[in-house]
C-alpha cells in the first residue's frame, strides 16, 4: 500500500500593496471649549505628534500626508520634521470630506492603499493599523471597530422609533483603509450627489461595496471634548 503523504501546497500570502496615510487634523475643535485639540498636550507633546509617530513607526505605512488648518501648516511641519515618512502637510477644505480628498490627492502615484486617520485619535496602536491595512489589501476596504456596549435607540422627534439589536452594532474607528481608486471614486460620487456621509466607509457603502471589519481597540478614542482629553491622558498613563 502506498503510504506516501500528500502535502497540501502552502497558502500564498498576498503581497501588501504600498499604503499611504492621510491624517486629518483640519477641524475647528468647536466642542473643545477653546482648547486647540490638534496641539493639546498629551504627556508633554502635542496630540498630533503622537498620532503621526505611530504611523511613522508602522511598517505597512510607506508615506504620510497631514491635512490641517492653514494656520497650523508651518507649526505641524516643524513638529513632524523628524518623521521621514511625512511627505506633505496641506491645508484642509470646508468639510472633512473635502479635506480627505485633498489629502488623497497629495499622496504619491506609487500609493495603492490609503489609510485615513482622525488626527484626534492619538492612542492608535500599530497593531490596529496593521490589521486594517492587511484586511484592505485583501478586501479593498476595511476598518477597525469595537462592539457597542450601550443599548442604542433610534429617536425621531424625541420619541423612540426603533431599538436595533445590540449584537449587530459596532462602533467604527479609524484608520479606515481602502484601495485608493475606490475611495477617490466613492468620495467624488458622494460630493456630486451632495450626500452627507458621516465617515469614509459610508461613501464606499453607497456604491454597494462591502467593508471588512477588523478588531479595534477601546483605547483608540477620538478626542472631541475636554472630557475626552482627560480620558486620553488617563489611558496614556495606563499604557506606559
| Residue 92: pLDDT band with limits 50, 70, 90 | very high
Give 47: exposed, middle or buried? Use CB within 10 Å, 0-12, 13-18, 19+.
buried
| Contact between 227 and 34 (Cβ < 8 Å) | no
| Residue 33: pLDDT band with limits 50, 70, 90 | low
- For residue 9, the model assigns a pLDDT of 57
| Residue 43: pLDDT band with limits 50, 70, 90 | confident
Q: Which strand (E) or helix (H) includes residue 177? A: strand 176-179
- For residue 47, the model assigns a pLDDT of 94
pLDDT at 34 over 70: no
Residue 117, C-alpha cell as written in the block = 486617520
Pick 26 or 109 by higher pLDDT. Answer: 109
Q: Which strand (E) or helix (H) includes residue 134? A: helix 126-139
| Contact between 175 and 129 (Cβ < 8 Å) | yes
pTM recorded for the entire structure: 0.91
Amino acid at each position: 500500500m502506498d503510504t506516501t503523504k500528500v502535502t497540501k501546497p502552502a497558502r500564498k500570502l498576498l503581497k501588501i500593496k504600498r499604503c499611504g496615510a492621510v491624517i486629518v487634523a483640519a477641524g475647528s475643535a468647536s466642542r473643545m471649549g477653546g482648547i486647540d485639540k490638534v496641539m493639546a498636550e498629551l504627556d508633554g507633546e502635542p496630540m498630533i505628534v503622537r498620532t503621526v509617530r505611530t504611523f511613522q513607526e508602522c511598517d505597512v505605512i510607506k508615506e504620510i500626508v497631514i491635512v490641517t488648518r492653514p494656520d497650523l501648516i508651518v507649526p505641524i511641519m516643524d513638529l513632524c520634521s523628524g518623521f521621514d515618512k511625512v511627505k506633505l502637510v496641506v491645508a484642509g477644505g470646508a468639510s472633512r470630506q473635502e479635506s480627505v480628498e485633498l489629502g488623497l490627492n497629495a499622496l504619491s502615484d506609487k500609493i495603492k492603499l490609503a489609510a485615513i486617520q482622525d488626527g484626534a485619535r492619538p492612542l492608535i496602536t500599530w497593531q490596529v493599523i496593521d490589521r486594517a491595512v492587511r484586511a484592505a489589501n485583501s478586501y479593498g476596504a476595511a476598518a477597525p471597530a469595537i462592539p457597542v456596549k450601550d443599548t442604542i435607540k433610534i429617536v425621531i422627534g424625541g420619541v423612540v422609533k426603533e431599538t436595533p439589536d445590540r449584537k449587530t452594532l459596532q462602533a467604527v474607528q479609524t484608520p479606515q483603509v481602502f484601495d485608493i481608486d475606490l475611495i477617490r471614486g466613492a468620495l467624488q460620487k458622494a460630493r456630486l450627489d451632495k450626500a452627507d456621509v458621516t465617515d469614509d466607509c459610508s461613501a464606499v457603502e453607497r456604491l454597494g461595496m462591502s467593508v471588512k471589519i477588523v478588531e479595534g481597540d477601546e483605547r483608540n478614542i477620538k478626542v472631541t471634548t475636554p472630557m475626552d482629553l482627560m480620558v486620553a491622558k488617563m489611558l496614556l498613563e495606563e499604557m506606559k
